[in-house]
Structure 1
Amino acid sequence: MEPAFHSMKALFEQLGLPSSDSEITAFIDRHVLAPGTALHRANFWSEAQARFLRDCIEADADWAEVVDHLDARLRR
């Protein structure tokens, strides 16, 4: 059974991205979501990553909270 709370590290691992604290910070520093752009529509995701992010939000899955947190961190 998966935990109800997923960490940012676990999300990055799920997305197949480097997941150390410094790598997560670097990713967020390098990527910015344009106003009005849905997280899963950002041009820096692969098709599989975008689908996973979209599905998490649409299904209000266990991952939705951390996906929302990533969305917020990518908007500056």
Structure 2
Amino acid sequence: MDTSKHDFSTLFEQLGMPSDSVSIESFIAQHSPLPPEIALQDAPFWSESQSHFLEEGLEDDSDWAEIIDELDALMRH
């Protein structure tokens, strides 16, 4: 079992997206702010598999949940 602490770079890698800091900052800027009535995993910019990964990570309170929550908070501003 992978018990390493995940960061935005590893989360974006897991989602199959560019994971360098410039790409991550650009993604967040492009898609923020996310309206409060839309759950992060339900946002229209995710693919079905990305949405499923995010939803599962949160529902299972996996080791990904903390960084997914951090991304959600950033996407709300």
Please give the range of the TM-score, normalised by the shorter of the 2 chains. over 0.9
Q: After the TM superposition, which residues 5-44 of structure 1 pair with which residues of structure 2 at under 5 Å, given as runs? A: 5-32=5-32, 33-44=34-45
Deviations along 1:3-60, one digit per CA (max 9) or x if unpaired, are 3410110000000000001110000000021112101000000000000000000000
Q: Which runs of 5+ in 2 are unaligned?
A: none
Q: Within the alignment, does 1:52 sit opposite 2:50 as a pair?
A: no
**What is the aligned-residue RMSD (CA, Å)?**
0.9
Normalising by structure 2, report the TM-score: 0.94
- 1:70 Cα deviation (Å)? 0.4
Match of 2:63 in 1: 62
State the alpha-carbon separation in 2 of the partners of residues 3 and 22 from structure 1: 26
Q: Which amino acid aligns with 1:18?
A: P
Q: Which amino acid aligns with 2:48?
A: E
State the alpha-carbon separation in 1 of the partners of residues 3 and 29 from structure 2: 28
Aligned residues: 76
Normalising by structure 1, report the TM-score: 0.95
